[in-house]
Amino acid sequence: MKRALVLLLSLSVVAQATSVAEVKKKGVLVLGTDPTFAPFEFRGADGQFQGFDIDIARAVAKDLGVKLEVRPVGFGALMPQSVTSGRVDMALSAITITPERAKIVSFSAPYYRSAQVFIVKSGNPQKFGWPWNSGMKGKVIGVQANTTGQYVANDLLKPRGATIKVYDDFAAGLADVRAGRIAALIGDAPTVTDLQKRLPGQFQQAGSDLAAEDYGMVFRKNSDLVAAANKTLARLKASGEYQNLLNKWIVQK
Ligand code: ARG
């Protein structure tokens, strides 16, 4: 009870701008993101945040006439506490639109069609395939905490005998795949193609996609920033900039 009260108080103290007027007043749009998820959000060799989501967020800030401030947050804290508390004005982090999440935060229009897939070590001799009947028995499958990958694993893989290992950090899960400590990590499809580009010969997708999903930009419930973000998205699509961003970050060359 006491702890809940302290939490409530600290939340209300840090609650900040979440409306167009407030963002314009302070002159910055604070983006929350978990930057371990290339090509959507990651740190470049120079330490700067970059990726498809970062560029989209930058365009939203530009249209609002404010600066973008990128605040790195672990995915489990980002979705949804950082948003609901108002500590960030918006979140872009390859976040899948789901009906459960839409009850507590507001989503923009979908901006990217993605899928959940198995990421395994390249040349992994273990036979993976989907759907399985018994192939999951005794296998340890990694997921990132609070992600749709975790939900899919609990729904589909656990009942088939898999043990689910939960990581706060996506990169830690990848390290365990590489070291052979887990059979596979569930991740979003474009992360695999990106890994293959940056770290050739180390990772591959196994089996077919587990679930198709759409990403949305995330805001505090009913914020008018949703409409602003949708306007920017429509502008990017109409001008061809959206396609340029796809080519820059995601489309395989
Ligand atoms: N698309 C998945 C979800 O919304 C995973 C997102 C993970 N993003 C990240 N930056 N680590 O749950």
> What CATH number is associated with residue 27?
3.40.190.10
Strand partners, 87: none
Arithmetic mean of pLDDT, 87-115: 97
- For 208, the token pair is 């077919």
The confidence score (pLDDT) of residue 54 equals 98
Residue 10 lies in a domain: no
Contacts of 32 (CB under 8 A, 6+ apart): 71, 73, 78, 82, 83, 87, 88, 90, 91, 93
Q: Which residue has the higher pLDDT, 225 or 7?
A: 225
- Please give the distance, rounded to the nearest whole angstrom, from the Cα atom of residue 21 to the centre of ligand 1: 29
8 has pLDDT over 80: no
Residue type for 120, please?
A: V
Mean pLDDT over 58-83 rounds to 97
For the chain, the average pLDDT equals 91
| Token pair in block for residue 66 | 């404010």
Q: Hey, which of 148, 186, 218 would you mutate to test ligand 1's pocket, going by the most ligand atoms within 8 Å of its Cβ?
A: 148
Question: pLDDT by residue (tens digit) across 54-69?
Answer: 999 999 999 999 999 9
CA of 96 to the centre of ligand 1 (A): 7
Mapped to the 3 state alphabet, what secondary structure does the chain carry?
A: CHHHHHHHHHHHHHCCCCCHHHHHHHCEEEEEECCEECCCEEECCCCCEECHHHHHHHHHHHHHCCEEEEEECCHHHHHHHHHHCCCCCEECCCCECCCCHHHCEEECCCCEEEEEEEEEECCCCCCCCCCCCCCCCCCEEEEECCCHHHHHHHHHHHHHCCEEEEECCHHHHHHHHHCCCCCEEEEEHHHHHHHHHHCCCCEEEEEEEEEEEEECCEEECCCCHHHHHHHHHHHHHHHCHHHHHHHHHCCCC
Residue 92 and residue 76 share a domain: yes
Structure confidence at residue 251 as a pLDDT band (50, 70, 90): confident
Cβ of 113: how many Cβ atoms within 10 Å?
10
Q: Are 149 and 174 in contact (CB under 8 A)?
A: no
Asked if 16 and 87 touch (Cβ cutoff 8 Å), the reply is: yes
Do residues 118 and 160 both lie within one domain? yes
Where residue 4 falls among pLDDT bands split at 50, 70, 90? low
Q: Do residues 171 and 72 touch, judged by C-beta distance below 8 A?
A: no
Mean pLDDT, residues 26-46 taken together: 97
Atom number of ligand 1 nearest to Cα 40? 10
- Indicate whether 15 belongs to any domain: no
Q: Is 191 in the pocket of ligand 1 (CB under 6 A)?
A: no
Query: Regarding predicted confidence, which is higher, 122 or 12?
Result: 122
- Mutational test site, ligand 1, from 188, 209, 214, 249, max ligand atoms within 8 Å of CB: 188
- Is 8 within the bounds of a domain? no
190 shares its domain with 121: yes
Give the per-residue pLDDT at 79.
95
**Average pLDDT over every residue of 236-249:** 98
State whether 190 and 233 are in the same domain: no
- Whether 1 has a pLDDT exceeding 80, the answer reads no
**Average pLDDT over every residue of 142-165:** 95
Ligand 1 proximity of 82 Cβ (cutoff 6 Å): no
Pocket test residue of 36, 37, 50, 112 for ligand 1, highest count of atoms within 8 A of CB: 37
Task: Say if ligand 1 is within 6 A of residue 96 CB.
Answer: yes
pLDDT value, residue 206: 87
| Count of domains forming the chain | 2
Whether residues 133 and 190 share a domain: the answer is yes
For residues 3 and 238, the model is more confident at 238
Question: What pLDDT is recorded for position 14?
Answer: 47
pLDDT over 90 percentage in the chain? 81
11 vs 227 pLDDT, higher one: 227
Q: Cβ of 27: how many Cβ atoms within 10 Å? A: 12
Query: Is 178 part of a structural domain of the chain?
Result: yes
Q: What is the C-alpha separation between 182 and 250, in angstroms, rounded?
A: 27
Tell me if 97 CB under 6 Å of ligand 1.
Answer: no
For a pocket test of ligand 1, which of 70, 96, 117 has the largest count of ligand atoms closer than 8 A to its C-beta?
96
Q: Does residue 147 line the site of ligand 1, with CB under 6 A?
A: yes
Q: What pLDDT was estimated at residue 207?
A: 81
Least-confidence region, from 17-21, 62-66, 165-169: 17-21
- Residue 68 bridge partners (DSSP): 29
Residue 151 has pLDDT above 80, yes or no: yes
Judge if the beta carbon of residue 210 lies within 6 A of ligand 1.
Answer: no
Tokens 């508390």, residue located: 85
Co-location of 51 and 168 in the same domain: no
Q: Which domain holds residue 237?
A: 20-111+216-249
pLDDT at 192: 92
